[in-house]
Amino acid sequence: MNIGTKPGTPQRQAKPAYRPPRPLGGRRRPDHTGQTGPRLRRGGSVLAFMLPALLVLLVFVAWPIVSVLRLSFTDASGFGQAHWIGLDNYRRIIEDPKVFDALQNTVQYTVLFTPVTIGLALALALLLNSPRLPFRGLFRTALFLPFMISLAVGSIAWSYLIDPQRGLLTYWLSAVHIELGDALQDPHLAMPAVVAVAVWKNLGFYMVIYLAALQDIPKSLLEAAEMDGAGAWARFRHITLPQLANTHAFVLIFAMITALQAFDQIYVMTQGGPYGSTQTVVMEIYDTGFKRLDLGLASALSNLLLITILLLSLAQFAFFRRREADVEAS
């Protein structure tokens, strides 16, 4: 009983706090009062940080792509006024025998470069992943170091190494009665020679990717298989290879894209020769645009190369998406 009230007097109840009426849906609308300003300021800050990168992409990526697409429908030569010719440049690609030879050489380069690089990279990664191998860190550094060197500089060095007159590699091979000859002037050896330089350049990069994937495989799977009596080949076939599926897809697509863009060592070592045996698509684009000044045809070839690389990238994304879906389903 409260002090100061008479017995029998009813006590006054406190009034409930005022609540605004609920909307007809039965749910109270969220109160965003005072949140619009901070959100706008946060969005403006993000846009300010992204603006320099967006400008760089717009000037150096988007605008060149649009310009090349426009030039591919003209007879532009870099001099005078360009005239609209429609799809004539794309028809010339189909009919020009030089372009067809460049496509064949590019396919040959890709077929030689991709499996050799992937196979050697996987073999070296398996070897360097063994804890029993001494000086593993030294070998990894030595194999990865060529990837840090410019391909043009490395190609100049290799041109001197296999020179038939003063090449150090030629001299060593002749000491064991292996005559290399002038490989860069031989139509049958020029393509393997430039491919070998590309393999030497990119081998360490793919090896490191495989090495990281091998170290990510749970050791418990390999130990359990070994306890069950599985040999080294069985463990490699049934455990290691399936665990490297994503890595295989990435390395395969990346190596194919690298092969399609081959230019540096070919320009330095052979200039597309001898007799056009190393004239790839990118070399044909360079010769067409900068030597013959046919910018329209060179732009059309560039667009076809861009579409090919884009399709390979989309295939890679589709593979990874399907793998993620399979993992989630399991």
In angstroms, rounded to a whole number, what is the distance separating the alpha carbons of residues 9 and 233?
96
Separate counts of helices (H) and strands (E) for the chain: 15, 0
Report residue 194 CA to chain centroid gap.
21
In angstroms, rounded to a whole number, what is the distance separating the alpha carbons of residues 269 and 260?
18
Residue 226 contacts residue 240 (beta carbons within 8 Å): no
Phi, psi (degrees; rounded to nearest 5) at 74: -130, 175
Let me know how long the chain is: 330
In angstroms, rounded to a whole number, what is the distance separating the alpha carbons of residues 192 and 301?
25
Q: Is 180 helix (H, G, I), strand (E, B) or coil?
A: coil
In tens, the pLDDT along 186-208 reads 899 999 999 999 999 999 999 99
Q: Judge whether residue 273 has pLDDT over 50.
A: yes
| Paired tokens of 232 | 């080294």
Q: Judge whether residue 115 has pLDDT over 90.
A: yes
Backbone CA torsion sign across 64, 70, 74, 80: negative
Q: Judge whether residue 29 has pLDDT over 60.
A: no
Mean pLDDT of the 99-127 span? 94
Residue 89 contacts residue 72 (beta carbons within 8 Å): yes
What pLDDT is attached to residue 183?
87
What pLDDT is attached to residue 113?
96
In angstroms, rounded to a whole number, what is the distance separating the alpha carbons of residues 106 and 109?
5
In tens, the pLDDT along 213-271 reads 998 888 888 888 888 888 888 888 888 888 898 899 999 999 999 999 999 999 999 99
Spatial CA neighbour of 239 closest among 230, 227, 251, 248 = 230
Backbone CA torsion sign across 121, 267, 316, 209: positive
Q: Judge whether residue 13 has pLDDT over 50.
A: yes
In angstroms, rounded to a whole number, what is the distance separating the alpha carbons of residues 268 and 153?
9
In tens, the pLDDT along 145-181 reads 999 999 999 999 999 998 888 888 888 888 888 887 8
Q: Hey, what domains does the chain have and what are their CATH numbers?
A: 100-272 (1.10.3720.10)
Residue 187 contacts residue 181 (beta carbons within 8 Å): no
State the greatest distance between any 2 C-alpha atoms of the chain, in Å, as a whole number. 126
Residue 213 contacts residue 236 (beta carbons within 8 Å): no
| Paired tokens of 300 | 């059309």
What is the model's pTM?
Answer: 0.80
Q: What DSSP string describes 83-148?
A: -B-TTHHHHHHHH-HHHHHHHHHHHHHHHHHHHHHHHHHHHHHHHHT-TTSTTHHHHHHHHHGGGG
In angstroms, rounded to a whole number, what is the distance separating the alpha carbons of residues 266 and 285?
13
CA dihedral angle for residue 161, residue 251, residue 136, residue 126, rounded to 10 degrees: -110
